C-alpha cells in the first residue's frame, strides 16, 4: 500500500497535513494531550494572545443555537509572556507544530506581541486576529474594511519575519477585496472565516442571552457561508487561503480544499468531539487512498463548474 | 484499572428510565471502569444530528464495574431543554459519547468535620455520591433535600444509606413531604440553632439553584462554617478550552473569571461572587 501523503505548503512553511485547530477552540493545545498525540496535527493555533493577560467578558458568554453556538468570550487569555515561559516549551516538548493567534487594541499592541513572539524559534507562524467580534477595540474594528486590514497587516509585517497569517471576518460586503488588502500588505496567508455576528434573546425575560448582547456564531450552521467566502477569497488572492467555518468531518474539510483552500482549521467541532481533528485527518487519508490521489494538491481548487 | 483521568469514550446505553415526573436515570456501559470524585461530571451526547450541537454536562451519579472488565456509569438528569429531551428519548443499546471524569469535585478530606449535604431540585444527583463516600468512611453527616413537591424528591431507594433516622431531611415548598417550605429556610434555621462548637466544624456541600446556594453560603459564612458549592453553567467543551462557563471569583482584592468545568464545578462558597 502506498503511504498517503497529506503534507501541504503554506508559502515557506511545510505542514505534515492540512488540518489545524482553530484559535479559541483549542486552548493552548496541551489541554488536548489526554485525547491524542497533539503532534499529529498540521498545526495548533493557540488561543488569541495579547500583550497583558485579558480578563474577558462577564459570564453569559455562550449560548447554543440551531446547529451552532454563539460565543462572546472576549479573548480571555494568559498574555504573551506566560505563553512564552510556560506553554511554548511544553508544546515543543510534545513535538507539536504551533502558531500563535495575536490580538491587541491598537496596531502598536499587535506589533509588540508579534515582535515578542518572533523571538520563539519554535513558533511556526503568527496569525493576526483581525476579526474578533466580541471586543470593543481591535479585532473586527480592523477587519471590517480593506483599509483597516491593510493598516494592521502592514504594521505587524514590519515587526516579524515569521510567516504571517491574517484571520478575516465574514462580516464584510466584499471578502475578496479584504483578502487582497492583506496580501498586498505582506500577509503570507489569509485564514477565514472568523465567527458571524449574531444574537439570541429570551422572549420571556426580554433579555439578550449573552452579557455582551451580540456574539459570534460558529459551528455547522455557518459552513455554507464560510465555503462561499473561502471560494471567493481563493479566486482573488495568490497567497494560500486557510479555510475555517463549521468543519466537523473529513468531507467538510475536503470541500474547502476543493474550492481552493490550502489548509483548514477545525474549531467548534473540538468542543463536541475532542478527537475531531485526528478523526478528520484519518478520514482525509482514507479518502485519498480510496481515490488513489497522490497528494492534496492534486485536488485542491479542482471545483467543477 | 479504573481511570481517573479524563477520557473521551464511546458508551452504550444500558438503561434510561423516567422516575416521577421529571427525573431520568441513565446507565451506560463504557470501555473501562471510571474512578471519580463526588461532584465531578461528564459531557454526554449521542442523539443524532447537530441540533443541539454540544454535549450536556451531567454530574456522575455512580460508577462501577461492568461485564468483561468494562465499566458502567450512571447519571440522573432532568429534562430542561432540547438536548436532555432528546437524551430522554434514547433507548438501551444506543451509543453515547462521553468525556469524563471532568472538573474538581468535593474535598471530603477533613477529619472530625460535620458535613451537611444540601441538594435543591436535581442537585441531589451531585451530592449523593458525596454522601455515599462519607457514609463509607462513617463520617458524621446529614442530608437536606428540597423540591417543589413530593413527586420531585428522589426515590428513597436512591438515597445513600437509605433512610437512617435523623440523617435525611426532606423539604417541599407545598408541604407534601417533610418540612413545609424551602430547603434554604430549613438549613438556615438549623444553622442558627447550631452550637458554636458544631458550627465551627461544619462543612456544607451543596448543589442546586443559584439563589439557594447564595443564601446558604451567606448563612454558613455568618456562622463561620465552610461551604463547598457545586455550580452549574452552560458549557461548550467541559474540559477547559472554550472559556464559556466562567464565574466571577474573589481573589484577594480582585475578582477573576474561573472556569466552572476546570477550576470547578465545586468552589469554596466564600470566594464566589454571588
What is the domain-level CATH number for residue B40?
2.40.30.10
- Å from A271 to nearest chain B CA? 4
Indicate yes or no: CB of A62 within 8 angstroms of CB of B97. no
What integer is the mean pLDDT of A151-160?
Answer: 97
CB-facing half-sphere around the CA of A30: CA atoms within 13 A: 11
Q: Is B108 contained in some domain?
A: no
Same domain, B172 and B239: yes
- Three cell numbers, residue B102: 471532568
Residue B162: its pLDDT value, please? 64
Domain-terminating residue out of B52, B78, B102: B102
- pLDDT single digits (tens) B146-174: 999 999 999 888 988 765 656 899 999 99
Rounded to whole angstroms, how far apart are CA atoms A242 and A229? 11
pTM: 0.95
- At residue A134, does pLDDT exceed 80? no
Same domain, B135 and B263: yes
Same domain, B35 and B94: yes
Chain A contact set for B53 (CB, 8 A): 64, 67-69, 219-220, 268, 272
Indicate yes or no: CB of B8 within 8 angstroms of CB of A272. no
Closest residue in B to A76 (Cα) is B243
Same domain, B25 and B148: no
Q: For chain A, which residues lie within 8 Å of any Cβ of chain B, measuring from their own Cβ? A: 24-27, 31-32, 34-35, 47, 55-56, 58-59, 61-64, 66-69, 71, 73, 76, 219-220, 248, 268, 270-275
Indicate yes or no: CB of A273 within 8 angstroms of CB of B8. yes
- At residue B195, does pLDDT exceed 80? yes
pLDDT band at B58 (very low <50, low <70, confident <90, very high): very high
Q: Which residues of A are catalytic?
A: 132
Residues in chain B: 274
Indicate yes or no: CB of B246 within 8 angstroms of CB of A76. yes
Give the structural domain span for B210: 114-268
Same domain, B206 and B243: yes
Indicate yes or no: CB of B237 within 8 angstroms of CB of A271. yes
Domain-terminating residue out of B102, B131, B151: B102
- pLDDT single digits (tens) A220-233: 999 999 999 999 99
pLDDT band at B1 (very low <50, low <70, confident <90, very high): low
Among B5, B11, B53, most A C-beta atoms within 10 A, so best to mutate, is B53
Among the partner-chain residues B5, B242, B246, the one whose CB lies closest to the CB of A271 is: B242
Same domain, B70 and B168: no
- Three cell numbers, residue A288: 485519498
Chain A contact set for B7 (CB, 8 A): 34-35
Same domain, B140 and B248: yes
Total domain count, chain B = 2
Rounded to whole angstroms, how far apart are CA atoms A24 and A31? 12
Give the SS3 label for residue A221: helix
Angle between helix axes A250-258 and A223-236 (nearest 10 degrees) is 30
CA separation, residue B21 to residues A2, B149, B160, B169 (Å)? 58, 11, 22, 21
Chain B contact set for A220 (CB, 8 A): 50, 53
Give strand ranges (E) for chain A. 8-10, 13-15, 19-21, 43-49, 62-65, 68-71, 98-102, 123-129, 164-167, 189-192, 196-199, 201-202, 207-208, 214-218, 241-244, 263-266
pLDDT band at A40 (very low <50, low <70, confident <90, very high): very high
Residue A221 CB coordination number (10 Å): 21
- pLDDT single digits (tens) A55-87: 999 999 999 999 999 999 998 999 999 999 999
Domain-terminating residue out of B82, B102, B122: B102
pLDDT band at A2 (very low <50, low <70, confident <90, very high): low
b/e map of A7-21 (b: 16 or more CB within 10 Å)?
ebebeebebbbbbbb
What integer is the mean pLDDT of B236-249?
Answer: 97
Q: Is B15 contained in some domain?
A: yes
Same domain, B124 and B218: yes
- Å from B180 to nearest chain A CA? 29
CA separation, residue A199 to residues A209, A217, A223 (Å)? 8, 8, 18
Chain B contact set for A63 (CB, 8 A): 234
Same domain, B30 and B53: yes
Pairing of strands A123-129, A164-167: parallel
Tell me the percentage of chain A whose pLDDT exceeds 70: 98
Q: Is B252 contained in some domain?
A: yes
pLDDT band at B213 (very low <50, low <70, confident <90, very high): very high
Residue B3: its pLDDT value, please? 81
Among the partner-chain residues A220, A270, A273, the one whose CB lies closest to the CB of B241 is: A270
Sheet of B179-180, strands arranged across = B179-180, B168-172, B141-147, B114-120, B202-207, B226-230, B266-268
Rounded to whole angstroms, how far apart are CA atoms B134 and B108? 8
Residue A294 CB coordination number (10 Å): 11
Angle at alpha carbon of residue B35, lines to B29 and B38, rounded to 5°: 105
Among the partner-chain residues A25, A34, A272, the one whose CB lies closest to the CB of B53 is: A272
Question: Lowest mean pLDDT: which of A48-57, A251-260, A276-285?
Answer: A48-57
- pLDDT single digits (tens) A265-303: 999 999 999 999 999 999 999 999 999 999 999 999 999
Pairing of strands B226-230, B202-207: parallel
Confirm if B129 and B103 have CB atoms less than 8 A apart.
Answer: no
| Domains of chain A, CATH where assigned | 8-59+74-196+218-298 (3.20.20.70)
Confirm if A95 and A39 have CB atoms less than 8 A apart.
Answer: yes
- Three cell numbers, residue B163: 433512610
DSSP labels for B61-87? Answer: -EEEE-GGG-EEEEEEEE--SHHHHHH
- pLDDT single digits (tens) B65-76: 988 999 999 999
- pLDDT single digits (tens) B115-127: 999 999 999 999 9
Residue B62 CB coordination number (10 Å): 18
Rounded to whole angstroms, how far apart are CA atoms A231 and A241? 9
Amino acid at each position: 500500500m502506498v503511504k498517503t501523503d497529506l503534507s501541504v505548503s503554506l508559502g515557506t512553511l511545510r505542514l505534515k497535513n492540512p488540518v489545524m485547530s482553530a484559535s479559541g477552540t483549542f486552548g493552548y493545545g496541551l489541554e488536548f494531550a489526554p485525547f491524542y498525540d497533539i503532534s499529529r496535527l498540521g498545526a495548533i493555533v493557540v488561543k488569541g494572545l495579547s500583550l497583558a493577560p485579558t480578563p474577558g467578558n462577564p459570564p453569559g458568554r455562550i449560548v447554543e443555537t440551531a446547529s451552532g453556538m454563539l460565543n462572546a468570550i472576549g479573548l480571555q487569555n494568559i498574555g504573551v509572556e506566560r505563553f512564552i515561559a510556560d506553554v511554548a516549551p511544553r508544546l515543543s516538548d510534545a513535538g507539536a507544530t504551533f502558531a500563535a493567534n495575536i490580538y491587541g487594541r491598537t496596531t502598536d499592541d499587535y506589533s509588540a506581541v508579534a515582535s515578542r513572539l518572533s523571538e520563539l524559534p519554535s513558533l511556526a507562524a503568527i496569525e493576526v486576529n483581525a476579526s474578533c467580534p466580541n471586543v470593543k477595540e481591535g479585532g473586527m474594528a480592523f477587519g471590517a474594511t480593506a483599509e483597516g486590514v491593510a493598516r494592521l497587516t502592514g504594521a505587524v509585517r514590519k515587526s516579524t519575519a515569521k510567516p504571517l497569517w491574517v484571520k478575516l471576518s465574514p462580516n464584510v460586503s466584499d471578502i475578496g477585496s479584504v483578502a487582497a488588502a492583506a496580501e498586498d500588505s505582506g500577509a503570507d496567508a489569509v485564514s477565514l472565516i472568523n465567527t458571524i455576528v449574531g444574537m439570541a434573546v429570551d422572549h420571556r425575560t426580554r433579555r439578550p442571552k449573552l452579557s455582551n448582547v451580540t456574539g459570534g456564531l460558529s459551528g455547522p450552521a455557518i459552513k455554507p457561508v464560510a465555503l462561499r467566502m473561502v471560494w471567493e477569497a481563493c479566486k482573488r488572492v495568490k497567497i494560500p487561503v486557510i479555510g475555517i467555518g463549521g468543519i466537523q468531518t473529513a468531507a467538510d474539510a475536503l470541500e474547502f480544499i476543493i474550492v481552493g483552500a490550502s489548509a483548514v482549521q477545525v474549531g467548534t467541532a473540538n468542543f463536541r468531539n475532542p478527537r475531531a481533528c485526528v478523526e478528520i485527518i484519518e478520514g482525509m487519508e482514507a479518502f485519498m487512498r480510496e481515490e488513489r490521489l497522490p497528494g492534496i494538491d492534486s485536488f485542491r481548487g479542482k471545483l467543477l463548474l | 484499572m479504573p481511570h481517573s483521568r479524563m477520557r473521551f469514550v464511546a458508551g452504550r446505553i444500558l438503561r434510561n428510565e423516567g422516575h416521577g415526573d421529571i427525573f431520568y436515570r441513565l446507565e451506560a456501559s463504557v470501555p473501562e471502569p471510571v474512578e471519580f470524585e463526588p461532584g465531578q461530571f461528564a459531557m454526554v451526547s449521542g442523539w443524532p444530528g447537530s441540533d443541539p450541537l454540544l454535549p450536556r454536562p451531567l454530574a456522575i451519579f455512580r460508577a462501577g464495574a461492568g461485564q468483561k472488565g468494562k465499566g458502567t456509569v450512571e447519571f440522573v438528569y432532568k429534562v430542561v431543554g432540547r438536548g436532555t429531551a432528546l437524551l430522554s428519548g434514547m433507548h438501551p443499546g444506543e451509543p453515547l459519547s462521553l468525556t469524563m471524569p471532568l472538573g474538581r469535585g468535593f474535598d471530603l478530606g477533613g477529619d472530625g468535620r460535620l458535613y451537611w449535604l444540601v441538594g435543591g431540585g436535581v442537585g441531589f444527583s451531585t451530592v449523593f455520591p458525596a454522601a455515599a463516600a462519607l457514609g463509607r468512611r462513617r463520617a458524621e453527616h446529614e442530608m437536606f433535600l428540597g423540591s417543589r413537591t413530593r413527586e420531585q424528591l428522589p426515590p428513597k431507594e436512591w438515597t445513600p444509606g437509605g433512610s437512617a433516622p435523623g440523617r435525611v431531611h426532606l423539604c417541599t415548598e407545598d408541604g407534601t413531604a417533610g418540612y413545609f417550605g424551602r430547603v434554604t429556610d430549613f438549613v438556615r434555621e438549623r444553622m442558627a440553632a447550631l452550637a458554636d462548637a458544631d458550627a465551627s466544624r461544619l462543612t456544607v456541600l451543596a448543589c442546586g439553584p443559584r439563589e439557594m446556594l447564595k443564601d446558604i453560603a451567606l448563612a454558613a459564612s455568618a456562622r463561620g462554617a465552610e461551604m463547598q458549592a457545586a455550580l452549574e453553567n452552560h458549557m461548550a467543551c467541559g474540559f477547559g478550552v472554550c472559556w464559556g462557563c466562567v464565574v466571577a471569583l474573589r481573589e484577594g482584592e480582585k475578582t477573576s473569571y474561573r472556569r466552572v468545568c476546570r477550576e470547578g464545578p465545586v468552589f469554596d462558597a466564600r470566594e464566589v461572587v454571588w
